[in-house]
Amino acid sequence: MNKDIKIMIELQAFWQVILQERKNIERFNKSIDFWKTELAGKKNTRTEIQSRIMELKNRQKTGELELHVSEEKIKKLEHKKTIIQTQKEFSAVDNEITTVRAEKNALEDSIIVLMDLIDTEEKTLASIDAELPAMEKQVGNDIEMIKSDIDKSEEIIKLNQAHFDALIKDLNPALQGKFSKLLSSKNGIAIAEVSGDVCTGCNFVIPAALTLDASKSDKTINCTNCGRYIYK
């Protein structure tokens, strides 16, 4: 086999490892982002519940004040009833009392509903508070582990890049530029084997004469379809 082709095959192998590890790092970073988003989401939910509880409690307080006002009003009306003279006046006050009582009942009902809502929200908050520290710890540990995987991948990349950089110096300088260009395009594959009459880089049938040339050791051939270096 052609010496340059042999070197390119080796370079390609180093390059494949580098590309694979880059993909791994991308995946690892996505995992880190995922866990950070999960945790932030949980904390957001917690903040939202807290502000809902505060709002509900304010409404409860307002309701209780209104309740107090209507109780006072009823008291005053009851007192008025004891001092009025005519039957007409009496019925008017009595009607007013009925109206205020109805308002008071409605207020009481709405306060009970509010209290139920507050209770439900507080239970949810408590369960988030119970699981949040463990989740934070778990996510922290997971991220540390993923970071150490990233470090490992970076080490592998460094090592293979060093091998690559050292070896590419042995490649015929006239081929280096095109080879590097192919590596950074063409899905990172610059050299492909010919299987039968098919370039495995692009899966296209190449001319038989080219296949023959690809198997000769004195020639450096490129696929007529994809431009990759080919060998047989």
| 3 state SS of 150 | helix
| β-strand partners of 231 | 193
Nearer to Zn ion, 105 or 187 (CB): 187
DSSP code at position 188 = G
Nearer to Zn ion, 5 or 114 (CB): 5
C-alpha Rg value of the chain to the nearest Å: 40
Shortest approach of Zn ion to residue 206 CB, angstroms? 7
* One of 110, 135, 225, 232 touching Zn ion (CB under 5 A): 225
Structure tokens at 195: 């299987």
Task: Name, in order, each residue with C-beta under 8 angstroms of 108's C-beta and a sequence gap of 6 or more.
Answer: 67
| 3 state SS of 109 | helix
Structure tokens at 80: 């008025």
Q: How far is it, in rounded angstroms, from Cα 115 to Cα 57?
A: 8
* One of 118, 199, 210, 214 touching Zn ion (CB under 5 A): 199
Shortest approach of Zn ion to residue 200 CB, angstroms? 8
Nearer to Zn ion, 136 or 193 (CB): 193
Task: Based on the shown chain and the rule CB under 5 A, indicate whether residue 200 belongs to the binding site for Zn ion.
Answer: no
* Contact range with Zn ion by CB under 5 A, out of 7-15, 46-54, 141-149, 201-209: 201-209
| 3 state SS of 222 | strand
Task: Based on the shown chain and the rule CB under 5 A, indicate whether residue 110 belongs to the binding site for Zn ion.
Answer: no
* One of 49, 56, 107, 223 touching Zn ion (CB under 5 A): 223
Task: Based on the shown chain and the rule CB under 5 A, indicate whether residue 194 belongs to the binding site for Zn ion.
Answer: no
Nearer to Zn ion, 63 or 201 (CB): 201
Binding-site size, Zn ion (CB under 5 A): 6
Task: Based on the shown chain and the rule CB under 5 A, indicate whether residue 202 belongs to the binding site for Zn ion.
Answer: yes
Nearer to Zn ion, 53 or 206 (CB): 206
CB 144 within 8 A of CB 43: no
Q: Is 130 exposed, middle or buried (0-12, 13-18, 19+ CB in 10 A)?
A: exposed
Task: Based on the shown chain and the rule CB under 5 A, indicate whether residue 198 belongs to the binding site for Zn ion.
Answer: no
